[in-house]
């Protein structure tokens, strides 16, 4: 009962702030930082690939993925907040670097992904697992990810800015020690990236590149 209440509170919160949150991410240049990082990877994504943006919010990570030049068969932008998905859909349609026709918005919870086992060739996830038990979230993502495929996981790191975001966005960041330990139950850690301090995303986020065992 408490868990369902918390899910509802989170959904309602992001439904209310979707437009403001989207503007903040644009100003901070998160898209450009994500695009630059993804371009540095050999993700082996092609026209047959299926990609999931788990906890897509207003679509900033999917936009960065698209502007990095990746064109999978389908990208699923999944989020609990209906209004965030609506903003994301509008952003995809307006953006000239984005193949909006091959992006499918889906409203669902990351703890109960509505997909079969081993469906996706890549998962991107930023700013969602802070709202759920980390083990449960990573286990569910591993379930729908193909063996040997990668998860680009962008958690909040401990920092002053991270603490401010915890207060503003009503989540609790997972200690990076826990991220490393729990990730290794389901994935091999094949990369760790620290954004440069000159990029605002680096003030609060880091990246783990994980490969499903």
Q: Which tens digit of pLDDT belongs to each residue from 51-77?
A: 999 999 999 999 999 999 999 999 999
What CA–CA distance (Å, rounded) separates 45 from 72?
A: 6
pLDDT in tens, 76-123: 999 999 999 999 999 999 999 999 999 999 999 999 999 999 999 999
What CATH number should be reported for the domain holding residue 15? 3.40.50.150
Is residue 5 scored above 80 in pLDDT?
Answer: no
**Kindly report the CA angle at 177 between 163 and 42, in degrees rounded to 5?**
95
Phi, psi of 171 (to 5 degrees): -130, 180
Segment 13-17 mean pLDDT: 76
d(CA 57, CA 82) in angstroms, rounded, equals 9
Give the count of domains, the chain.
1
Residue 116 lies in domain: 2-212
* 123-168 pLDDT per residue, tens: 999 999 999 999 999 999 999 999 999 999 999 998 998 898 899 8
Q: According to the model, what pLDDT value does residue 10 have?
A: 81
- For 186, the token pair is 């389901």
Question: Of 89, 146, 80, 135, whose CA–CA distance to 113 is shortest?
Answer: 80
User: What gap in Å lies between CA 147 and CA 187, rounded to an integer?
Assistant: 9
């Amino acid at each position: 009962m408490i868990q369902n209440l918390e899910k509802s509170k989170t959904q309602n919160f992001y439904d209310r702030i979707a437009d403001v949150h989207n503007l903040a991410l644009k100003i901070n240049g998160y898209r450009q930082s994500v695009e630059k990082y993804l371009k540095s990877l050999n993700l082996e994504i092609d026209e047959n690939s299926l990609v999931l943006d788990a906890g897509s919010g207003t679509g900033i990570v999917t936009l960065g993925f698209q502007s990095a030049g990746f064109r999978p068969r389908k990208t699923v932008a999944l989020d609990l907040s209906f209004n965030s998905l609506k903003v994301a859909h509008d952003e995809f349609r307006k953006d000239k670097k984005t193949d909006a026709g091959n992006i499918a918005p889906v409203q669902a919870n990351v703890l109960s992904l509505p997909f079969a086992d081993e469906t996706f060739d890549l998962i991107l996830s930023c700013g969602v697992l802070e709202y759920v038990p980390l083990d449960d979230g990573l286990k569910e993502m591993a379930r729908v990810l193909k063996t040997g495929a990668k998860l680009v996981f962008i958690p909040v790191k401990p920092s002053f800015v991270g603490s401010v975001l915890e207060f503003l966005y009503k989540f609790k960041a997972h200690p990076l020690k826990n991220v490393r330990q729990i990730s290794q139950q389901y994935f091999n850690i094949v990369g760790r990236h620290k954004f440069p301090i000159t990029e605002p995303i680096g003030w609060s986020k880091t990246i783990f590149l994980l490969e499903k065992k």
